[in-house]
């Protein structure tokens, strides 16, 4: 079942492996009132600021300081759907004790 699902969504000869990669720092890193921010991105010339702001909210939808050790160290996925019903899939990795989250949008 899973293999059939994956083959259905695999593109033939894709132009790129992913749309954008970002490293997002946790809220409060640059001050007590600062929100999550994009620290690094690839490609560097990625220009869709709305998507970048949305990704920061997916990376840190919660307050990092309120987490217990057992809650940190997570992988999670999400789907961004635009107004034309185009879906983009995301994968995030928040390492145990880390103050940043790695995210790939495909």
pLDDT (tens digit per residue) in 87-101: 889 999 887 777 788
Position 18 scores a pLDDT of: 81
Indicate the helix (H) or strand (E) that contains 93.
strand 87-94
7 beta partners: none
Position 71 scores a pLDDT of: 56
Position 45 scores a pLDDT of: 92
Q: Which CATH number fits domain 1-63+70-105: 3.50.50.60, 3.60.20.10, 3.60.21.10, 3.30.450.200?
A: 3.30.450.200
CB distance 22 to 55 below 8 Å: yes
pLDDT (tens digit per residue) in 5-58: 444 455 566 577 788 999 988 776 666 666 788 889 999 999 888 888 888 888
pTM of the complete model: 0.69
Buried b / exposed e across 12-50, counting CB within 10 Å, b at 16+?
eeeeeeebbbbbbbbbbeeeeeebbbbeebeeeebeeee
**What single-letter DSSP state applies at residue 11?**
P
């Amino acid at each position: 079942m899973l293999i059939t699902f994956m083959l259905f969504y695999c593109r033939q000869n894709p132009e790129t492996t992913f749309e954008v990669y970002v490293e997002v720092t946790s809220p409060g890193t640059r001050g007590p009132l600062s929100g999550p921010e994009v620290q690094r991105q690839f490609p560097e010339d990625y220009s869709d600021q709305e998507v970048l702001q949305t990704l920061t909210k997916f990376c840190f939808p919660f307050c990092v300081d309120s987490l217990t050790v057992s809650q940190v160290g997570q992988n999670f996925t999400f789907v961004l759907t635009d107004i034309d019903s185009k879906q983009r899939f995301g994968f995030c990795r928040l390492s145990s004790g880390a103050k940043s989250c790695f995210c790939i949008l495909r």
